[in-house]
Amino acid sequence: MHAYRLHTDYTLKCQCCAVSQRFVFTSKSDVIVCGYCKPHYGGTPAKLAQQQREHAALYLNRLTQASKQRNADQVKHRAELEHLERIIAQKEAIIRQLEIELGDVHISIRKGEFNEAVMSWLIDERLTQAGKESDAALRRRESQERRVAEGTTNQGASIHQLPQH
């Protein structure tokens, strides 16, 4: 007997394999056991051996799926990280270039070749802009690195969540 409403969608843990899944009850006497487990659910010694084998296969399959998904996520995060590294390197190169230009401008100003205020302002604007873009890319890289690190430390978590039989 169960206390759930009939003909209603529920996400519940199978009482046999403990994997969460969708259940729709058609009778009050339905057991909360998934379709995969029904054939081995019972409790006779022969069924218990079958249950152990089939649960092992089920968990292994789920672990493989989870690990594939995690690897795919990691590859995506790494690609994004490399993209951000390239942006940062480009911006840093621009900043270095502008600093050289700024030095040249100061020399020209001393020689009386340029209007000091206008040239300084122009270079400052470009430096500020490149600095802002570089900062934004750095921040995105940090959060991306965090995501990659979290993905790594989470490895194996699903093993601990498996129920004991």
Binding site for Zn ion (CB under 5 A): 14, 16-17, 34, 37
Nearer to Zn ion by Cβ, of 44 and 115: the residue is 44
Please say whether the beta carbons of 102 and 123 come within 8 A. yes
Phi/psi of residue 15, nearest 5 degrees = -70, -10
CB of 15 to Zn ion, least distance (A): 8
CB of 14 to Zn ion, least distance (A): 3
CB of 45 to Zn ion, least distance (A): 15
CB of 21 to Zn ion, least distance (A): 7
Nearer to Zn ion by Cβ, of 18 and 87: the residue is 18
Nearer to Zn ion by Cβ, of 12 and 148: the residue is 12
Nearer to Zn ion by Cβ, of 17 and 119: the residue is 17
Please say whether the beta carbons of 145 and 153 come within 8 A. no
Nearer to Zn ion by Cβ, of 109 and 162: the residue is 162
Please say whether the beta carbons of 87 and 135 come within 8 A. no
CB of 8 to Zn ion, least distance (A): 19
